[in-house]
Every structure is written in structure tokens, then in C-alpha cells.
Structure 1
Amino acid sequence: MSLDALRGFDMFWILGGEGLFAALLMLTGWSGWQWFDGQMHHSQWHGFTFYDVIFPLFIFLSGVALGLSPKRLDKLPLSQRTPIYRHAFKRLGLLILLGVLYNHGWGTGAPVDPEQVRYASVLARIGFAWFIGAMLVWHTSLRTQIISAFAILIGYGLLQLFMPFPNGQAGQFTQTGSINAYIDTLFLPGISYQNRALDPEGILSTLPAVVNGLIGVFVGQYLVKQQQALNKLSGEWVKVITLLLVGALLIGLGWLVDMIIPVNKDLWTSSFVLVTSGWSMVFLAIFYGIVDVLKWQKWSLVFVVIGTNAIIIYLASSLMNWQYFAQSLFGGVVNVAPASWQQLLSVMSLLAVQWLALLWLYQRKIFIRI
């Protein structure tokens, strides 16, 4: 249950929760809310905020789900493997397609000209990270998966630091001078985000995102592993403490690497993978301890309702005008409220209409999976 709750917590901020702190600042005037509001925006370039962890956390959680029920397919007859492979390719293709729809949402629609379509997307990156991770889990040993994660992380860092490329210089971590921008300009079809040289979901930076998913796989396998402890409860707390400690270690290691390879979301640097994976483990440890070990679960329903249909509500946030629905249902209440309250009530009404739609699906056990 903690997995769905944390996934819902992750999505909560994307659906409108990021506006709460600016609204609270307007309501209370307390300057401390400015710091929280600053955490609700992506870093301008190098650096790290809470909002930067939302995307990699989702990839991490997809890996955890994969690791909770790992299965080897390579020794099964081809006839038994084929349906699973077909589903994997179908899921990848569908996420790429839905990513295109999301990119061109907000009432515009995807262009007819294929050269004007943005193919790189958040959903496509989730799809590729899951697909590559699944292929490794289904066909290799845990040892090979760990070696693969290290190889990708180290290889990607070395590539950014030392690989020469035409009209550029190795070791550049700039928006136009990095090897990522060169690869995107050369090979990425269609257009890039805001027509930049570098797409934040571009080709090269998708590779290290696989490691976020693989670390999730390792955590998932660890969580289902039976601990040799005095009793089951103490064994579960060992898992919580271990996740917290390893998460803190990864965060510290990431910031050490930052001295050589800066923490950067758009480049998805190796240091960024370490920092975000560390924070993902810390968040999972907290939710796992509270929801699944202590069994304090009633409060988590708020997030579970979101987490069980996370991808579909993410897609709907681009294809549907939720603000219109919120204004239609709660606009009268918002407009008569004192001016200092109106922004907070607007944010809450936006969250409410989306949550109520998800609650309707949840109560009818309609879970749209991809």
C-alpha cells in the first residue's frame, strides 16, 4: 500500500499541489513559505530542488514494482514468453504515443507535420526506463543487473567528461555545449522542448534514467526478501532503517560526485541519479514504515486514490481543463472569500475536482493500467 501512497504523493504536486505554498504565503505573509515555494520549481540549471525528484521518483517506483515480483523468462519456452514480450513492446509504444499527446495538449493538438512533433517526453522516458529494466530483470541475474547499473552510471559520466564531438568540447555541462545537446540535435526526430538544442527528455539522458529504475528494482527485491530477525516486525524495521541509511549514503555520494559532474536534471547526470535515487529511498522508507509497518493507513487513502491511477491523471492534466471544472463548481465560493484566501481556495478546488474524479474510479475499482 505504501507504494501506491508514495506514487500518489508524488503525483499530488504535479496536479496542483505545487501552488499551495505560494497561496499560503499570500494568506499568512510568513516569509518562510517562500523557501517552500522555491522547492516547488525545477532548478534553473545546476542544483537540486524537491520538484526535481518528482520525475525520477516515479521511475524509481516503477522499478520497485518490478522488483517486488521479479521473474526470469529466459528459461521459459518461447511460446510462454511471447505474450509477455508483446505486452512490454505494446506498453512502451503506448507510453511514447501518450507522451506525444501530452506534449501537444492544452487545447492545441499534435501537428500533422511529423517534423513539428515533439516525440521525447516524460512518459516516453518512463517507458524506456521500465522496458530496459524489465528486459534485464527477465533475462539476467541480480549480479548482472547491479554491474549493468554501475556500468551505465560510470560510463555515462565518463562520456560526458571525456568524449570529444564535432564543434564541441568534452566536459561541457552547458545547455548548448554538452554532448547531450549534440546527440539530440543530430538524432532526435521532430522538435525538442521549446526548440532548444537540448531536450530535457532527450536521447542520451534517457540512459542514466534506467539506473533510477534499476535501483528501484533492487529495493523491491530487498523488501520482499525474508529477514533473519527475532520476529517479523523487527525485520521490517531493519528494512526501514537500511533504506534510510543507504538513501542517505547515496545522497552524500551524489553531492561528492557533484564536485566533478554537477547535479543537473536536464542532463540527468550521474550525480543527479545518485541524489534522486537516495531521496527516493528515503521517501519510500518513510512511507513503508508508516503505512505498511505501523499500519497507519487511513490518512494515506488521500494519496492512494491518486497513485492507483497515476499515469491516466497525469495525461488528463494536459488533455483536460481541470481549472474550468474547478471554477464551475467552486468559483462562487472562491469569489466571495476574502482576497487573501482566494488563491489558496483556487488551488484546493483544483485539487478537489481531480481527486473526486479519481475517487469515483477508485471506489468502482477501475484502475487504468498501461
Structure 2
Amino acid sequence: MSDIPHQKERLLSLDTLRGFDMLWIVGGGFLFLKLAEITEWGWADALAKQMHHAKWGSFHFFDLIFPLFILMSGVVIPYSLYSRLDKGESKKSIYLKIIKRFVILVVLGAVYNGALQFKFSELRVASVLGLIGGAYAIGALIAVNFRSAKSLGIWVLGILLGYGVLQLFIPVPGYGAGVLNGEGSWNGYIDRLLMPGKLLSKTMDPEGILAVVVSSSITLMGVWAGMLLKRDEISPYKKTGIIAGVGGGFVVVALILKTWYPIIKGLATVPYIMLSGGLSLLLLALFYLVIDVWKVQRWTLFFRVIGMNSITIYLAVKIFDFWKPASFIFGGVSRYFGDFAPLIIGLGVICVEWIFLYFLYGKKFF
């Protein structure tokens, strides 16, 4: 499912960052949760709290995982779609590829949510993969037609401004303006009106229609970053500084806005989008600096193997029980670790998943 840049253009930092991002879903988060449960160490408990989605109106590390994935899908666009356009491929052909990718991700998201059980009255069509696919599709369609940094910036600010005005100042029928809860917000109103299938809550879905639309602004942030990274006339250190500066600016603005416009992941409020997009840019700048500029790369293979088949492992952990082979292989050893035995099994799960992905990596299946 990934658009992989040609090897000579390849950003090892992007594959590594994608793998780092996905690790927390496929087992990394469990390790911190279990460590905090076993030890009751203060620092472990603090980290474990970051492995849950935050309550309404706050932000945890776990709330960054899918915005970061969306940003990286945008970074690839200049290396994939723009390169195809530059080689003479028609926009119509590009549009079909974008739509195909979107449809596949929506279908895979529905499968993840249980579509193969054929209980369609209970099926949740909205999904994380659908959110990623929709945000990518909207961002990609914009990016294909507006290829300057200035145009992308205008689109990002326009989407965020329009979305903020809608959430804060346009009255929702029957509820009024500025209601930031599931039932009385525009997010909930539009989801109940237009979103097919079951909603995650009865009143709205955090991966609903408006969340998809506003998340496309993070895709466009990624496109801008990808365009910058491709420019040979700009030094790598300057690229790093620009990306980090813009990312830090988004974070600062989000923290200022949150005093009267809360950071709410469930409603994808503008401060949430700016904070998660800004932090994603900061992480991109850091990984690019260390891996592609300083060439500190020996440690990256572990994450790259995960990152190059990120959607594969996301679905695989839903379909396959990796705990059984991990328990079979590491169960005996784990008993020597007493209370820490679940941690050993958890590490074993990650090892089994990684070996599975390394097999695909060796076969060049991405």
C-alpha cells in the first residue's frame, strides 16, 4: 500500500519514522503499560499514561500516532505522484490511483472492523484506515493541482480556518454554535446525517466525515515537507531547521489557542490538528537530521522493516494471534523472570511480528 520512492531518492528516515510510529500499536505500548503495572515506578506510570488516548480536552503521545502516519503519507507525494506527473503521466491516471488507494483503505478498514462477519447492521464503516485514506485522497487531489509551497500553505490555513469557524461560530440545527461535544457539534450532526454504518458512539465517530476533511491539512503539511526535502539547492541543515521551525510554530499556536478552543482528538479541533501536525513535523525533522544528514543508520533496520509494511502489520495483528507462537517460544524462558514474565512474552510477540515482516522485507514485498 505504500508509495515507495525510488532507491536513489529514498529517505531512510521516513521508513524508520513510520516503523517507530507503528511499533506502539503492535506491541510497544503494551510493554510500558505492563511495566507500570508490575513495578509501580513513577516514571513507568507516567510513560504508560501516554500509551492511552487522552480524555476529552487533553493530549497524549498515543493521540499522535495516526496524525504522524497521515503526515508521512503526504511526504511521499512529491516522490511518487509528482515524479509520475513529471514523467508525463496524465492527471486522470493519477486521480484513478488516488481514488483506488482510498477505496482499498476504506475496504480494509471495514474488514478490520468486522465486515467479513456480514453483520452489516452492526458494521462501523468509519475506521482509522478510512481516515488515513480519506485524508490522503483529499490532500493528494489538492497537491496534484497546486504544486507550490505558497498554494499548499493557503490550503492548509484555509482548511483550518474554515473548520474552526464551522465548529465555533456556525449554529448546529437544534444545538446552536460552539458546542464541542459529540452530540451538539457539527462533527456529530454530519456523521449522524451522512456517515453510513454504525458510529463509534451513538452520536458521532472520531474518524467521521469532518475529521477526514480537516486531517487532509496534515497530509498537505507532509506534502510541503516532502517538496522541501527534494530540493537539492537547499542544504540539509537548512531543510531541517525550516521543517522544525514550522512544526514548532504550529505547536506554539495550538498551545495558545487551547486556552479558549480546546485540544479535542474526538472532534479533531483545530488546536489538535495543529499540535499533532506540528509535533509530527518536529519528529520528521529529528529523524531526517539523525538518519539522512548525520548518516547514523545502523540502528534503523529494526524500524524500517516495520515501516515498509506498516499497514500489513496493522491488519495482521488483528487477524493473527502472535501471542501463541511467542508464548510457545519464550514461555519457558519467561518463567525465570518472575513478575516480569509478561514483559518477556510481550517482547517475544514483537520479535515474532518482526520476523514475519523481515520475511516480507527479504522477499521485497512492500
Scaled by the length of structure 1, what TM-score is found? 0.90
2-side partners of 1:352 and 1:75: how far apart? 41
Tell me if the contact between 1:95 and 1:127 (Cα under 8 Å) persists in the aligned partners. yes
1:339 Cα deviation after fit:
2.5
Q: What is the one-letter code of the residue matched to 1:94?
A: I
1:76 Cα deviation after fit:
9.7
CA deviations 1:322-344 (Å, max 9, x no partner) are 2223223322322x223321121
Q: What is the one-letter code of the residue matched to 1:49?
A: H
User: Residue 213 of structure 2 is aligned with which of 203, 207, 215?
Assistant: 207
2-side partners of 1:208 and 1:269: how far apart? 9
- Helix, strand or coil at the partner of 1:226: coil
1:29 Cα deviation after fit:
4.3
2-side partners of 1:280 and 1:114: how far apart? 36
CA deviations 1:216-241 (Å, max 9, x no partner) are 0001111111345xxxxxx2122222
Instruction: Find the counterpart in structure 2 of residue 35 from structure 1.
Output: 46
Aligned residues: 354
Matched, 1:125 2:131: yes
- Helix, strand or coil at the partner of 2:355: helix
Matches within 5 A, 1:36-185: 36-69=47-80, 71=82, 80-104=90-114, 110-142=116-148, 143-185=150-192
CA deviations 1:265-324 (Å, max 9, x no partner) are 111111111101111011111111111111111101110000000111111121222222
CA deviations 1:68-123 (Å, max 9, x no partner) are 4552989998x84443332222211111100001112xxxx544353322111111
Matched, 1:12 2:23: yes
2-side partners of 1:258 and 1:28: how far apart? 34
1:158 Cα deviation after fit:
0.5
Matched, 1:25 2:36: yes
2-side partners of 1:80 and 1:73: how far apart? 8
Tell me if the contact between 1:72 and 1:137 (Cα under 8 Å) persists in the aligned partners. no
1-side partners of 2:236 and 2:220: how far apart? 22
2-side partners of 1:162 and 1:280: how far apart? 29
1:22 Cα deviation after fit:
2.7
2-side partners of 1:135 and 1:22: how far apart? 40
Instruction: Find the counterpart in structure 2 of residue 346 from structure 1.
Output: 345
- Helix, strand or coil at the partner of 1:71: helix
Tell me if the contact between 1:68 and 1:223 (Cα under 8 Å) persists in the aligned partners. no
- Percent of pairs with identical residues: 37
Instruction: Find the counterpart in structure 2 of residue 298 from structure 1.
Output: 298
Tell me if the contact between 1:73 and 1:138 (Cα under 8 Å) persists in the aligned partners. no
Tell me if the contact between 2:95 and 2:141 (Cα under 8 Å) persists in the aligned partners. no
1:365 Cα deviation after fit:
1.4
Tell me if the contact between 1:98 and 1:123 (Cα under 8 Å) persists in the aligned partners. yes
2-side partners of 1:58 and 1:219: how far apart? 14
Tell me if the contact between 2:322 and 2:349 (Cα under 8 Å) persists in the aligned partners. yes
- Alignment RMSD: 2.0
- Helix, strand or coil at the partner of 2:209: coil
Tell me if the contact between 2:110 and 2:126 (Cα under 8 Å) persists in the aligned partners. yes
2-side partners of 1:43 and 1:121: how far apart? 18
1-side partners of 2:249 and 2:92: how far apart? 40
Matched, 1:364 2:363: yes
Given the superposition, is the C-alpha separation of residues 36 and 213 from structure 1 closer, same or farther in structure 2, using an over 3 Å criterion?
Answer: same
Tell me if the contact between 1:119 and 1:189 (Cα under 8 Å) persists in the aligned partners. yes
- Helix, strand or coil at the partner of 1:263: coil
1:259 Cα deviation after fit:
2.0
1:23 Cα deviation after fit:
3.0
Matched, 1:219 2:193: no
2-side partners of 1:27 and 1:337: how far apart? 15
Instruction: Find the counterpart in structure 2 of residue 231 from structure 1.
Output: none
Given the superposition, is the C-alpha separation of residues 307 and 76 from structure 1 closer, same or farther in structure 2, using an over 3 Å criterion?
Answer: closer
- Unaligned runs of 5+ residues in structure 2 are 1-11
2-side partners of 1:70 and 1:312: how far apart? 22
Q: What is the one-letter code of the residue matched to 1:134?
A: A
2-side partners of 1:120 and 1:207: how far apart? 13
Q: What is the one-letter code of the residue matched to 2:294?
A: L
1:175 Cα deviation after fit:
2.4
Scaled by the length of structure 2, what TM-score is found? 0.91
1:254 Cα deviation after fit:
0.7
Tell me if the contact between 1:133 and 1:210 (Cα under 8 Å) persists in the aligned partners. yes
1:366 Cα deviation after fit:
1.6
Q: What is the one-letter code of the residue matched to 1:213?
A: T
1:4 Cα deviation after fit:
0.2
1-side partners of 2:30 and 2:118: how far apart? 34
